[in-house]
Structure 1
Amino acid sequence: MAGSDSSGFPGFGTDTIHVGQDPNQWKSGAVIPPISLSTTFKQTGPGEYPGRGGNPTRDCLEKCFAAVEGGKFALAFSSGLGATMSICHLLKSGDHIVAMDDLYGGTNRYFRRILANMGVETTFADATSIEKFSAAMRPNTKLVWIETPTNPLLRLVDIPAVVAVARKQKDVLVVVDNTFATPYFQRPLDLGADISMSSATKYINGHGDVVMGLTAMNDEALYKRLHFTLYAGGACPSAFDCYLVNRGMKTLHVRMKEHFRNAMAVANHLKTHPRVETVIYPGLPEHPHHELYKRQMKGFSGMVTFKLKGNLENATKFLQTIKVFTLAESLGGFESLVDHPALMTHASVPPEQRKELGIDDTLLRLSVGLEDTKDIIEDLDQALAAAVSLSSFINTL
């Protein structure tokens, strides 16, 4: 049953290791694709080679990512927001976007403070309610943008249902930010999306040393349009970064199984902890979208969000006391990280929207890493004990 284990898609590991990596494409026969640092390539004739726009190392990565997403084409960008910007450059002034209301803070900021100044308006709507999302559509809507699971509240969106709403109008692109799930656990293209986008900075690379965005799609005309905006806009990643992400993807399936295992252990432990108010994790049966999770996903990543009892002072003490976890933005690496969304990743989201969503002073987002499970849980316990004094704990009961 989908969502009941961490088996991923058939052939995933084989694809990550072999697609786009054929040693025969290199004269040296190198098993590991070499890093091509050249920015200029000899052309067989005027305009007969991609020239400055192409790079063999990037080509390897893009072919591999397309395969693991179940797509025909892929493009790599200098960052996740570079991918977002390039996709939005497919729009024109007067166009309209319907976006999930619970989004990565950088995406929210870009839509509100950059695109709005270019004549592209965004309506933020709760995509977990198809009725509310459908009501936000306008005749000039040209782009639908959703995250599922969302950041940081881990809400799930029914991708086929959103696609069905978008298809009622002409020329509406559906983009799914697949960063939290990864293509190992979810394939938006199989569910009808036009573009599956990921911040490769996170799980795809998995080692905290690259900033990159990746997109996959099936439509060749869309691929050519996005390819043009990528190179015309200049959001191209370096060959060395492409090499690192290509290397990181080789262990994605192995890492995701361990992230899933550790996160499930953390979620199950925290939900019974007397000093924790709420735990949000799609893999838990009590998650409000757990049935959708089982239909749409094959497991989940290391992202666990929870609210501790108390106030900002308690949350601050927790963050000052934690040891195995590092207080830092970003996520999806082999190391465990903890984030305070209201003050960090989502500080740019308007306060009234944060309040409406429930992103408050005691909400914490964990990126559960690959350390020993016992050490992770013991670290959470000691930080919780330090964070919530006996008197404040009693007052919250």
Structure 2
Amino acid sequence: MVKGTRQAVKPQRRVHRDIWNWTYRTHLVVKSPPTRNIHEQNINSSVDIDSSAVEFEIKQKDGTPVSSSAAVSLDNQLAFEFVGKQTCTYRKYPKKTGSRTGLYVTTVVTDLASCEAVCTSDPTCVSFDFVVMNGMMGCFKYNESVVDRLIDTFNDHYEKDCSSGSNSCSFIEYPGKKGPYDELENPVHDVTECKTMCENETSCTAIDFSKVDNIITCYRYTKRVVNVLTDVIVNHYTKQCSGYAIRVESCTASNGQSGQDQETLNIIEDSCPSGEVGKLMEEAPTKVTDNTVTFKLHPFKFNKVNAITVTCTVKVCPAGTAAECEALNCSSQPNRKRRSTEISDETVRKTFIILDPNLEFTSHDSSKKSSVSVNDVTTPIVAGVAMVIIMLLVVSIVVLLVVKKRRSNRKFQEDGVNKQTI
């Protein structure tokens, strides 16, 4: 049985529909029904399961996330949040930079993939510059589009070659390379002027010609540096993201046991509060955005087990199929449409512990005392109903006895009157 402070719920054995899903788990646990075509992730009563397409989190009233190592009080509130993850791609603008216009943030990264990950995880990031210079890598994030303000940027190395014996020297180009910048620096207008300057100086062996943030610079070297050249990369990337629209199809709570010891409570059915959950549901599933769904539940507990596993099946709709994940009208019969082949059902699971100060902390072991359970909620109600029934029976018996006694007295009085008349 299910116990809570609001309503007792009778546990039922469930035979679940076949669906394709993934699973998450935490203490309160969300438990997934058996399925076909399932991406199996070792579903059991102690492991949380995450999905690559859906983020699932359960929070207490103060915003603290629940976990299998934290106990939740029965007078708390549980907020369930499901978010469809985003996938982002990036368009490259070679040798371009935003010239640090607009609001930007500099982050040290280890490679281009790290820079992309930084931008993807930041919802305010719309583009970035990836810069490699002097052995360091930098990621410059922008919170606004700067495509219309991009400027050219480059850094190329040229080795002077005068071996032909002619009056003029040639230059061997090393694109995207630079020397150590430890010698002479001269402002110039273009690469031709930089080369001419080196040609006219016998001691000049090589040059770096760079343009960064509209500043053109010519670096001259008087020694061979070709063996110590480093990469210079300055590219601009714009972010293009598409998120998964979602709809929570079902949620089932379990005590984590099996066989005759298993107890379950359907929380969500057909994307709507189930008939079993009753007043435990404090806020029905709400579609905050296309890719975010929330609902709020009053804590409860199963009999003699204070660990609850909640498994939810979440319908995931990629870009272009969001209409198939629209919220359903729970006041009418759900209208099921033929689903696209791109649609999938993801399952997420979490488990948490319900805290009862009057009982021992037990986790999944049903042989020990535990915190307030689903049955613990039912027991006071059943006991109260039983007391009322017993009181009604007692009152009924008393009334019957009184009526019978009055009838006996009346008959006795009538017999006495008859004897006197005779």
**TM-score (structure 2 length as normaliser):** 0.20
Please state which structure has a larger fraction of its residues in helix. Answer: 1
Higher strand share: 2
**Structure of higher RCO (CA pairs closer than 8 Å, 6+ residues apart):** 2
